[in-house]
Amino acid sequence: MPKVAKELSALEVKHLPPGAHAVGGVAGLILDVSAKGGKTWLLRVRMGSKRREIGLGGYPSTSLADARNKAREARGAIEKGGDPVAARQASKAALLAEQASLRTFEWCARTFISERKEEWKNAKHQAQWLATLETYAFPIVGKLPVQSIALAHIMTVLTQQQADKNNAPLWEAKTETASRLRGRIESVLNWATVHGYRDGLNPARWKGYLDAALPAPNKIQKPAHHKAIHYVAMYSFMQALRQQEGTGARALEFAVLCAARSGEVRGATWKELDLKKGLWTVPGQRMKAGKPHTVPLSKQALQLIDTIEPMAGTDLVFPSPRGKVLSDMTLTAVMRRMQVQAVPHGFRSTFRTWGGEHTSHPRDMLEAALAHTLESKVEAAYMHGTQIEKRRKLMQDWADFVDLPQPQENNLIQLNSKNK
């Protein structure tokens, strides 16, 4: 039995110097005073063959009297065969488990998005993720403990009525949005399961579960096609476009010549261009498929680039007046001013149709030019090596085609008379 030290008073305890001091009253009760002045209560005990130190709190938040009471309770538990340290750890684990089970869906979703933000291509994609959940999921399941979310909750979210669509269910009225929403909820619930906030199967999974409760998206809504100009009308369009002034018009012209997406062009930088080799290489993080894409530049595309004066303070080829990336509506605004009933993305469809109907270029080469995902090694070869030169011929043929009037045009494009 350890000696019981002299009982110190509260005043004596207050003025103890750095070191470990027995304060008396209970065998093994120590006040550990650090060199920086921090003070911690410890109870030194022997449990079996091992010596243990049990923390009883800090001083002065835990007073001398409180520390002695805690020490007596701990010694009493040990004498009865208990382990105060193990009991405390179990209690803490139970509390953490209870807190985890109360994590809400909204908390899990926001934390998941914050952790994954570096994986997404841009801040806009992150904002879209959150906006979808804020609009459709949070009002219904946001405050629910993530552990309690079940099939009934998912169905309520996906079939909520849409007032702007004659009260049709979301899954039918806005099928593409609802499908993305389901996938995002599934990802959040998967994350919550991995982090121990819920268990069991994911009620938002599609295959083998929700597909038995909801019609497949492709059975409800046909994919919307981007409005495009017929390829035989491209000469008139390009002539009118080249009369338009501004960076937006030049960016649109470059997008047409390269059969590129608007975002790829708007984010193009000078360091991506190799003008000596006539190549534009878009890094993977700016591509839809996440893989680098090289575009052989036609003579017309190179001539266009040659007319552009780099702006100081930015590496962007087509910057806004403030040196930032152009808005995604800038190219569309150019076409609206021209009174053209089509959208910028439609030129990719125009290019593909022209290549398939008007040329003998292989299908896989056309797909490679559009940076579509290629399945076979033969198709993938068009992205590398000597095949780049074959694609250069394709892009030059396209640029030459849009520079030549077509006799069968017959008013396939509606242009403002002042632009003709």
pLDDT-based confidence at residue 416 (cuts at 50, 70, 90) = very low
The Cα-based distances of 148 to 113, 189, 395 in angstroms read 21, 11, 56
Average pLDDT over residues 276-294: 89
The pLDDT of residue 260 is 94
Share of the chain above pLDDT 90, in %: 49
pLDDT of residue 414: 43
Query: Is residue 243 over pLDDT 90?
Result: yes
Residues 323-376: tens digit of each pLDDT: 999 998 999 999 999 998 888 889 999 999 999 999 999 998 898 899 886 554
What would the 3-class secondary structure string for 118-185 be? HHCCCHHHHHHHHHHHHHHHHHHHCCCEHHHCCHHHHHHHHCCEEHHHCCEEHHHHCHHHHHHHHHHH
Q: Which two tokens stand for residue 83?
A: 């382990």
Q: Is the pLDDT assigned to residue 2 strictly greater than 60? A: no
pLDDT at 288: 80
Q: What is the pLDDT of residues 174-200, one digit of tens each?
A: 998 999 999 999 999 999 999 988 888
pLDDT for 97 equals 55
* pLDDT higher than threshold 50 for residue 413: no
Identify the three-state secondary structure at position 277.
coil
* Cα four-point dihedral sign 318, 374, 344, 275: positive
Structure tokens at 324: 């930032």
Query: 18-22, 104-108, 224-228 — which is least confidently predicted?
Result: 224-228
Tokens 């409800």 sit on residue: 220
Q: Amino acid identity of 244?
A: Q
What is the length of the chain?
Answer: 420
What is the side-by-side strand order in the sheet with 50-58?
19-22, 29-33, 39-47, 50-58
Q: Which of 28-37, 142-151, 297-306 has the highest mean pLDDT?
A: 297-306
Report how far residue 310's alpha carbon sits from residue 302's, in angstroms, rounded to the nearest whole number.
14
Pull the structure tokens for residue 227.
């409005």
pLDDT digits over 108-150, tens only?
Answer: 999 999 888 777 766 677 788 889 999 999 999 999 999 899 9
What does the pLDDT read at residue 375?
53
Which of 276 and 412 is assigned the larger pLDDT? 276
The lowest-confidence range among 5-9, 267-271, 330-334 is 5-9
Percent of the chain exceeding pLDDT 70 equals 85
| Torsion, Cα of 128, 133, 134, 137 (10° steps) | 160
Predicted confidence (pLDDT) at residue 411 exceeds the cutoff of 50 = no
For residue 321 the two structure tokens come to 């007046």
Higher pLDDT, 8 or 81: 8
Q: What is the pLDDT of residue 12?
A: 87
What is d(CA 373, CA 67) in angstroms, rounded to the nearest whole number?
69
What is the reported pLDDT for 273?
Answer: 96
pLDDT of residue 412: 46
Instruction: Give me the mean pLDDT over the 82-107 stretch.
Output: 66
Q: What is the pLDDT of residue 254?
A: 96
**Residue 306 pLDDT:** 95
Q: Which among 73-82, 162-171, 250-259 has the top mean pLDDT?
A: 250-259
Q: Would you state the pLDDT for residue 4?
A: 59
Structural domains of the chain in order of their starting residue, each with its CATH number: 10-100 (3.30.160.390), 105-220 (1.10.150.130), 231-419 (1.10.443.10)
60-69, 115-124, 209-218: least confident range: 115-124
Q: Give the residue, 94 or 277, on which the prediction is more confident.
A: 277
* CA-wise closest residue to 26 among 81, 89, 73: 73
Is the model's pLDDT at 75 over the cut of 50?
yes
Neighbouring C-beta atoms of residue 253, cutoff 10 Å: 21
Strand order of the sheet with strand 293-296? 273-274, 279-282, 293-296
More confident residue, 324 or 223: 324
Sign, Cα dihedral of 328, 334, 340, 346 = negative
3-state secondary structure of 52: strand
What does the block give as tokens for 388?
Answer: 């780049």
Residue 99, pLDDT score: 56
- Which two tokens mark 389? 């030169």
The two three-digit tokens of residue 385, written as one number: 């090596």
